[in-house]
Structure 1
Amino acid sequence: MSLDDPVVSVGLREYLSAVATELGVGLESCTIDCDLPRSAYLALDWRLDRFPGRDLALLWDERHGWSAAIETHSGEDLIVLSYLGGDSVLPAPDTVARFVAALRAGDHSAGRPDPPALRDAGQGLADDLRPYLV
């Protein structure tokens, strides 16, 4: 499978659009990196009470799935707070929204602290994204 597989690129864009819509933001808040491992960034206009000066973002990659992170002030890598976990790197958009809602509500038990190893990069992602193709 090539990195420019249209099923993966279109399917991933549609999946991210569904997640963004569920969170009340647009696809313009997303960036996608199609290098292996494929990954995405979803900017949110929210802050957590425990980090009042830092914007919240969601990160996704094809090995670990979703994580919530806060922006840094220095342009360094984001600081991951929690990984969603579960059994899929592509959980339903409402599952991702519930994860974010729990974090915003101060639920420190939401997610897990370490990255789950859900799959190898480049393996079977096209098949999992087919339902998101329009």
Structure 2
Amino acid sequence: MISLLTGIDRDHGLRSGLTGYLAAVSAAVGVGEESCTLDLDAPTSAYIALDERLSRHPGRDMALLWDERHGWAFAMETHSGEDLLVLAYLGGELVPSPARVRGFVTAIRSAGGASALPVPPDLRGDRGDLLGRLRRHRRLSPYLCGIG
């Protein structure tokens, strides 16, 4: 028996679900879709630039990062162009509601930053489960967020 769900179909489902999810999360945290990028290479990941700075780090830009292993992280840009510094992980679920991600950002902003050392949660599951969680966010035109 041959599966009707080919690699191309899975990639399209992932792309359309993830772009819709990123659009919903970016709207929830108050930034536009132009602030989003995603990378479909393994592990699939995404980036949302935030329009805010923290009182503890006034000269640094902030961002939300997502990947299929750890879920959402709140991160700070470095001055040297190196990898972003993760300040906190949301944890709990790989694809939480946009409102929950907004609450995560609000809590970090209210505290002026994270107070504990970030420990990355292991939230990975199988790709089929991820596709199922993203299905409700699918877009007919998935090319609105930047794809790396």
Aligned residue for 1:91?
A: 96
**Runs of 5+ in structure 2 lacking a partner?**
1-5, 140-148
Of the two, which has the highest radius of gyration? 2
Equivalents in 2 of 1:107, 1:73: separation in Å? 19
Q: 2:57 aligns with which of 51, 59, 78?
A: 51
- What is the one-letter code of the residue matched to 1:97? R
Aligned residue for 2:134?
A: 129
Q: CA offset at residue 125 of structure 1?
A: 1.4
Aligned residue for 2:105?
A: 100
Equivalents in 2 of 1:58, 1:50: separation in Å? 17
Aligned residue for 2:86?
A: 80
Q: Which moved more, 1:4-13 or 1:24-33?
A: 4-13
- What is the one-letter code of the residue matched to 1:98? G
Equivalents in 2 of 1:30, 1:125: separation in Å? 19
TM-score scaled by structure 2?
A: 0.82
Determine which structure has greater relative contact order: mean sequence separation of CA pairs < 8 Å that are 6+ residues apart, divided by chain length: 2
Aligned residue for 2:118?
A: 113
SS at match of 1:114: coil
Q: CA offset at residue 84 of structure 1?
A: 0.3
Equivalents in 2 of 1:114, 1:40: separation in Å? 19
Q: CA offset at residue 120 of structure 1?
A: 4.0
Kindly provide the CA deviation profile for residues 36-59 of structure 1, in whole angstroms up to 9, marking residues without a partner as x: 110001000100100111011000
Kindly provide the CA deviation profile for residues 44-83 of structure 1, in whole angstroms up to 9, marking residues without a partner as x: 0100100111011000001110000000011000000000
- What is the one-letter code of the residue matched to 1:60? W
SS at match of 1:69: strand
Aligned residue for 2:142?
A: none
Equivalents in 1 of 2:116, 2:91: separation in Å? 6
- What is the one-letter code of the residue matched to 1:59? L
Q: CA offset at residue 2 of structure 1?
A: 2.9
Say if 2:73 is the partner of 1:67. yes
RMSD: 2.1
In terms of fraction of residues, the more strand-rich structure is: 1
Q: 1:7 aligns with which of 9, 13, 24?
A: 13
Q: CA offset at residue 23 of structure 1?
A: 1.0
Equivalents in 1 of 2:91, 2:116: separation in Å? 6
Q: Which moved more, 1:103-112 or 1:47-56?
A: 103-112
Q: CA offset at residue 22 of structure 1?
A: 0.6
